Amino acid sequence: MQNDPDQYAIRPLDGQTWEAFARLVEKHHGVWGGCWCTWFHRSGTSPEHGERTYERNRACKERLVRGGRAHAALVFHGEHAVGWCEYGSPDELPNIYHRKQYLAEQAGPLPDYRITCFFVDRDYRRRGVAARALAGALDLIAEAGGGVVEAYPHDTKGQKANAAFLYSATRGLFEKAGFTYDRPKGAKNCVMRRMVEPDPARSDGRS
């Protein structure tokens, strides 16, 4: 398989793409121990959610997606979803790691959007999917009106890491996408920011 970003298409995670997303998650046994990409959501860790089982996490994610309360850029290769980049407002995605440290050191207002996690099909890793997912998420944010976007990638300091564990991608990936380093977060992560301008095709009524 060639590393050709042009072979990938971006579609938003919504009711129409849920089944493709679900097939990708099911292929990887729910991802990250059956999380179904729910941990960063408010409802994913609320007492009402109950025990975090595979089945409950799946049902929670589907409710959020179909209710328009979960956002991600899905990367498609043909008809198959092969990766994603999750994004959303701080209210939608409040459960970031090192949250106490983050809030204690946050000097200004919270961002308009957060990018919290990536996942790539094991058969497509190190083939440009994460970069395509990030670009797709930024495009979707621009279409929604843009704003300040924050991310919390791993700061690997140039060292290689196992792609399966880079749930928030790397500082280098975000630097290539125009993000600037703000501060460290935890032992191995950092806070990075970028302003995304609104898509003019959306802001003046064209689609």
64-68 average pLDDT score? 96
What's the fold here for domain 7-202? Answer: Aminopeptidase (3.40.630)
Q: Does 206 have pLDDT greater than 50?
A: no
Q: Does 2 have pLDDT greater than 70?
A: no
Give the pLDDT score at 52: 84
Give the pLDDT score at 97: 92
pTM as predicted = 0.90
Give the pLDDT score at 167: 84
Residue whose C-alpha is closest to residue 119's, from 156, 82, 159, 172: 82
Q: Does 14 have pLDDT greater than 50?
A: yes
Q: Does 160 have pLDDT greater than 50?
A: yes
Q: Does 1 have pLDDT greater than 80?
A: no
pLDDT tens-digit series, residues 89-148: 999 999 999 999 999 999 899 999 999 999 999 999 989 999 999 999 999 999 999 999
3-state secondary structure string across the chain = CCCCHHHCEEEECCCCCHHHHHHHHHHCCCCCCCCCCCCCCCHHHCHHHCCCCHHHHHHHHHHHHHCCCCEEEEEEECCEEEEEEEEECCCCCCCCCCHHHHHHHCCCCCCCEEEEEEEECHHHCCCCHHHHHHHHHHHHHHHCCCEEEEECCECCCCCCCCHHHCCCCEHHHHHHCCCEEEEEECCCEEEEEEEECCCHHHHCCCC
CA–CA distance, 121 with 104 (Å, rounded to integer): 36
170-181 average pLDDT score? 96
> Average per-residue pLDDT in the chain?
90
Q: Does 203 have pLDDT greater than 60?
A: no
pLDDT tens-digit series, residues 21-40: 999 999 999 998 999 999 99
